[in-house]
């Protein structure tokens, strides 16, 4: 492409859409035009971009004529409807919903982990689930070195993963409790303030939640290795920004804790913070607003011959959604793949 692309941000008024606009600006993403799109009820709203105000236009069937790249964060059903229409109009879609992730025709990509999967895109590329992305960044270097057999992961997920309304709900509940008033739970099925909620997304027939099964299935697709077994327990905690994960790993080859630290220290997108003597380890309040995924508490698990425990933290709205989407788009441009194959 000789000119800069026309870029649509679909779902521009949501939490992830807003973060996308911020990151497009921060990274000086090449564009000839940025078009914020949203559903009819947001039309007329304005969003900030590079000191200007852009008017939100309606996301319609005909909206993608002349658009080269659409960054979608507008929910699954909206994406199911509009992404194929965009692709048909010649616009490459990078979608942040779960709609296309397990579709065999759509690559599921973390640019530091499986950029090569972009080579076979057919117009729609899926952005993985937030809790999967940070896990992949931490697991890939270990898998490449020692083959991962099994992962047991428990998550500590922030409310921002649910969107603006959940951030407000936590804030409101905390204010009410602090002034002795009863709380109202609207976004979540139960109070989230000062509580842990062991349910993220809906339950499946096997007793796992959809969020837990996303971690299982997306890991296999991104790593391109169906032999990796993952079991997950996903829990919402009263944190605004930053997902944390307690990760237990069994590998085929033995790795010491020092080996893992050395591997992760040179991994792209990863920062090792692991200085127990200084009480330094990753925490959501530090990861918030940052691009990297932070790994610490790296220890050998001696209950199995080749075991490692670690603690992985990342900004779920940033690397877990908006940033990864934009990094996929950047990689498409670098590799000259920003076109829908005939």
166 is in an annotated binding site: no
Choose, from 130, 164, 196, 286, the residue flagged as catalytic. Answer: 130
Contacts of 111 (CB under 8 A, 6+ apart): 324, 327, 328, 330, 331
* 106 in active site: no
d(CA 181, CA 192): 15
Judged by beta carbon, residue 126 or residue 288, the one nearer its own copies is: 288
Count CB atoms within 10 A of the CB of residue 332.
Answer: 24
Could you give the 3-state DSSP secondary structure of residue 166? helix
Decide if 286 is catalytic. Answer: no
Residue 320 makes contact with its own copies by CB under 8 A: no
Asked if 206 is part of the footprint of its own copies (rule: CB under 8 A), the reply reads yes
How far apart CA 7 and CA 246 sit, in angstroms, is 37
Using rule CB under 8 A, residue 282 touches its own copies: yes
The span of 39-47, 115-123, 281-289, 321-329 binding its own copies (CB under 8 A) equals: 281-289
Q: What are phi and psi of 221, to 5 degrees?
A: -65, -45
> Does position 304 bind its own copies by CB under 8 A?
yes
Name the segment binding its own copies (CB under 8 A); options: 28-36, 66-74, 92-100, 291-299.
291-299
Confirm if 230 and 219 have CB atoms less than 8 A apart. yes
172 binding its own copies? (CB under 8 A): no
Q: Are the C-beta atoms of 111 and 105 separated by less than 8 Å?
A: no
Q: Does 49 bind its own copies (CB under 8 A)?
A: no
- Residue of 10, 237, 270, 329 that binds its own copies (CB under 8 A): 237
Residues 6+ apart with CB under 8 A from 122: 87, 105, 106, 340, 341
Count CB neighbours of 227 within 10 A. 11
217 sits near its own copies (criterion: CB under 8 A): no
Residues between 122 and 151 with contacts to its own copies, criterion CB under 8 A = 150
Compute the least distance from the CB of residue 302 to its own copies, in Å. 8
**For its own copies, the closer CB: 152 or 337:** 152
Tokens of 240: 């605004």
Give the SS3 label for residue 190: coil
Q: Is 27 annotated as a binding residue?
A: no
For its own copies, the binding residue among 57, 84, 163, 199 (CB under 8 A) is: 199
Residue 269 interacts with its own copies (CB under 8 A): yes or no: no
Angle at 22 between CA 86 and CA 239, to 5 degrees: 105
Q: How many CA atoms lie within 13 A of 49 on its CB side?
A: 26
Binding site for NADP(+): which residues?
A: 13-16, 41-42, 160-161, 316
Query: What residue ranges bind its own copies (CB under 8 A)?
Result: 150, 152, 154, 156, 171, 174-175, 178, 189-191, 194-199, 203, 206-208, 229-231, 233, 235, 237-240, 244, 246, 248, 257, 276-277, 279, 281-285, 296-304, 307, 309, 311, 313
Binding site for phosphate: which residues?
A: 101
């Amino acid at each position: 492409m000789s000119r800069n692309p026309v870029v649509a941000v679909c779902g521009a008024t949501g939490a992830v859409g807003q973060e996308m606009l911020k990151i497009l600006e921060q990274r000086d993403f090449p564009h000839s035009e940025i078009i914020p799109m949203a559903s009819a009820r947001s039309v007329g709203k304005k969003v900030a971009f590079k000191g200007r105000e852009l008017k939100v236009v309606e996301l319609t069937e005909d909206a993608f004529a002349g658009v080269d790249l659409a960054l979608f964060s507008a929910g699954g059903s909206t994406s199911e409807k509009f992404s194929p229409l965009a692709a048909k109009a010649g616009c490459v879609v990078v979608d942040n919903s779960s709609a296309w992730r397990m579709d065999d025709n759509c690559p599921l990509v973390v640019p530091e982990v499986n950029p090569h999967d972009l080579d076979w895109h057919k117009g729609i590329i899926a952005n993985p689930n937030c809790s999967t992305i940070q896990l992949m960044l931490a697991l890939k270097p270990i898998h490449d070195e020692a083959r991962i057999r099994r992962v047991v992961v428990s998550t500590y997920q922030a409310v921002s993963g649910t969107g603006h309304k959940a951030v407000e709900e936590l804030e409101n509940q905390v204010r009410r409790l602090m002034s002795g008033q009863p709380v109202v739970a609207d976004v979540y099925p139960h109070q989230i303030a000062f509580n842990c909620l062991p349910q993220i997304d809906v339950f499946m027939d096997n007793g796992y939640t959809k969020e837990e099964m996303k971690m299982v299935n997306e890991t296999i697709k991104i790593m391109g290795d169906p032999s990796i077994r993952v079991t997950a327990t996903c829990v919402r905690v009263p944190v605004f920004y930053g997902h944390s994960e307690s990760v237990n790993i069994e590998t085929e080859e033995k790795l010491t804790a020092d080996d893992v630290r050395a591997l992760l220290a040179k991994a792209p997108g990863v920062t090792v913070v692991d200085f127990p003597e200084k009480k330094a380890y990753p925490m959501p309040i530090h990861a918030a607003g940052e691009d990297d995924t932070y790994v610490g508490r790296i220890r050998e698990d001696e209950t199995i011959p080749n075991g490692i425990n670690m603690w992985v933290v990342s900004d779920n709205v940033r690397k877990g959604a908006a940033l990864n989407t934009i990094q996929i788009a950047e990689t498409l441009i670098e590799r000259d793949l920003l076109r829908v194959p005939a």
